[in-house]
Every structure is written in C-alpha cells, then in structure tokens.
Amino acid sequence: MKDKIYKYISYLILTVTVFFSVFLIVSDNIAPFTTQASVHKNVAIIAAEVSGLVTHISVDNGQRVNKGQLLFSIDQTSYRIAVNEAEAELHQAEENDSARWQELAITKQSRLQRQAEKDNFLHKLTRYQSLLKSGLITQEELDDIQLSYSISLSAVVAADAEVLRVSAELAQEKDSAAIELARAKLDQKKRDLVHTNIVSQVDGSVSNLQLEVGTYLSAGDIGLFLVNESHAWINADFNEKGVNYLHTDAEVLLVFDALPGEIFRGNIINQDRAIYDASSVGSKLSDVTNSDRWIREQQKIRTRIYIKELDPKLISGSRATVMVLNGNGIIDSFAMSWMKLISYFRYIY
C-alpha cells in the first residue's frame, strides 16, 4: 500500500514538474514571465547651486523631509560681502543718474540766463537806435550792440537745443543702463546668497547622505538624494517573443523577493520603444560581433508596471518576479499556481 502511495506521489510530482517545465518553455509566447524586474522610485538629485564650505547639515540619512525644509547650508560670508558690494554699485549708479537730472536743471537755468542776456541786449539795441538818431552815439557803438544781441540770440538757441537733448535722453529710458546692470548684478548676488541654504523642492526621504561639516562643494556637486516615496513603478525586462502580450493595461502578477508568500497584481503602463545598441554609436558604422553560439541570447523588452498600492517597505531596487496574464482562464490559473509556488520559494531563496 505504501509503495503505491509513493508511486502515485512520484508520478504526481513528475507530472507537475513536466507540466510546469513545458509551461515555462512556452510561457514567453502565451504568458511572458521574467525574474528580471525591480522597483524604481523617482529620485531628486540635490546639488549645491553655489560653491563653498558646508557649515550645517539639517537632516539625517533616511529621514523624511517636506518640501521647503532646510537640508544643508553653505558658508554665507563671501556671498553677504558680494551683496553689499552690489548694493554699493547700485547706489553709485543711482547717484550718477541723479547727476544727469541735475545737469538738466543746470542746463535749464543756463537757458534762462541766456534769455535774460538776450532781452537785455534787445533793450539796449532799441535804446541805442534812439540815441543814434539824436546823435548821442556813433554808428560803431550801435554796431557793437547789434553784434552782442545776435550772439545772445544764438546763445538762447543753443541753450534750447541743449535742454531738448538732455530731456530727450532722460525720457528715452526709465533707468539708465548702468542702473539696470547694477540691479541685475544685485539680484544675482542676492540669489546666490539665498542658495547658500539648500532646501528640499519635493517631499521625500534622504538617501546616500555622505556630507560632513567642513566639506567644500563646488556648484553642481551632489550633496544627497531625495527619494519620492509616493511615485513608484516596476521595471520588468521580458523576452521579445512575448511582445504581443506586453501592451498597455495588460494585467500582471508580481512576487517580490522581500515579501515572500504574497502575490500582487499590477498593470503594464508602457514599454520602452528603443534600447541601447552598443554596436552602433551615433553615425559611426556598426561594429558587428560574430557569435559562434548556436542559440543566441534573446533580446529583452523593458516594460514599466504600476501597482496601485505598493508596499511602502519596498525600497527602490527591490527585486521582483513578474508574469503577464494571458486572458485565458486555464492558462491564467496555471500562471497563478506557478507564481504562488514562487512566492513560497522566496522564503528559502
């Protein structure tokens, strides 16, 4: 009796093994399967925008931070000095501009003086013309006063032109170019000063924090990373033979190495339509590599999979096994059984 039981059990195990072996062989064509899958999360690279020594670190590795929270600070001394210098340059430019308005006032005053001189010479000319008729002055004296009047008239015309020129220059621009340049420089220096405090632009978790107080960072040097825990997906690489089933919204089953015994459901949201070809760089000729293997390795297709409620314990990089459901009840039942077996196997490996 025991021999028969062992015999039946052996047959059953052999049958199941053969069946699943055949199933896995043809799965690429009817229910694509891969163990090359991992969790990915958006990662913000936090770099210094200005150069200087790190004076303060406000977060710890793994800490959750909110948008606008201070991450670390860079020495502000030189940047405060630069702001003061820029403010002084702006004040100087404004004073120079004020001098131009004073020049306009002086020009107008000069014009009034020229006008008064012209009126005075006109009055003298009229009086001298009467005196000449009475024989009290000579013609030469009258000629002199006429010349002086002509010169004063020309001086008034020149003063009018100068007033118009200065007024036109001041009316053409709200501020002088020097003031605009000084303001732009001041804005830049203030911006640099603000950027000595590096704040988070997103909510996330601090990762790979290796900063120490006293570290010198150049603009663009990476200080840390922020992981966006709310936006995650799974990258899965399937053999290209199953491309007909790797379409958008296709339902998949997932098993994570970190969560043995559990099966999750997700959907393909898209696939990468190109891959890196090491044999063709830019416009150069392809370097064809000959292979003496009878069976070559299959090309992989990268797909992106979304799970509605991904377990927050999973980190970016967590490995997973994925199988695409066929839509056929029988095939999907075997797929579920296979994935369940794998989920239990993850307790061991």
DSSP state of 310: -
Residue 94 lies in a domain: yes
pLDDT in tens, 188-235: 999 999 999 999 988 899 998 889 999 999 998 999 999 988 888 999
Q: Could you identify the residue written with the tokens 């033979």?
A: 241
| pLDDT reported for residue 302 | 92
Q: Examine residue 163 and state whether it is found in any structural domain, yes or no.
A: yes
For residue 208, tell me if it sits in a domain.
no
- Which of 149, 151, 165, 163 lies closest to 111 in space, CA to CA? 163
Q: The pTM is what? A: 0.64
d(CA 208, CA 206): 7
The number of distinct structural domains making up the chain is 1
Q: With respect to residue 118, please indicate whether it lies within any of the assigned structural domains.
A: yes
The full 3-state SS of 119-143, as one line of letters, equals: HHHHHHHHHHHHHHHHCCCCHHHHH
Do 255 and 264 touch, CB atoms closer than 8 A?
yes
Task: Report the phi/psi class of residue 275: left, alpha or beta, with left for phi > 0 and alpha for psi in -120 to 50.
Answer: beta
Predicted local confidence at residue 168, as pLDDT: 67
Does residue 157 lie within any of the structural domains? yes
pLDDT band at 252 (very low <50, low <70, confident <90, very high): very high
> What local confidence, expressed as pLDDT, does residue 306 receive?
94
In a domain? residue 148: yes
The domain of 164 spans: 78-190
Max CA distance (Å), the chain: 167
Q: Which two tokens stand for residue 22?
A: 């055949």
Chain centre distance of CA 224: 16
In a domain, 145, yes or no: yes
User: What is the per-residue pLDDT across 118-162, written as a single tens digit (0 to 9) for each?
Assistant: 777 778 777 777 777 777 777 777 777 788 778 877 877 877 777
pLDDT in the model for residue 110: 74
**Which amino acid, 188?**
Q
Please say if the pLDDT value at position 51 is more than 90.
yes
Is 179 a domain residue? yes
- pLDDT for 1: 63
Q: What percent of the chain has pLDDT over 90?
A: 36
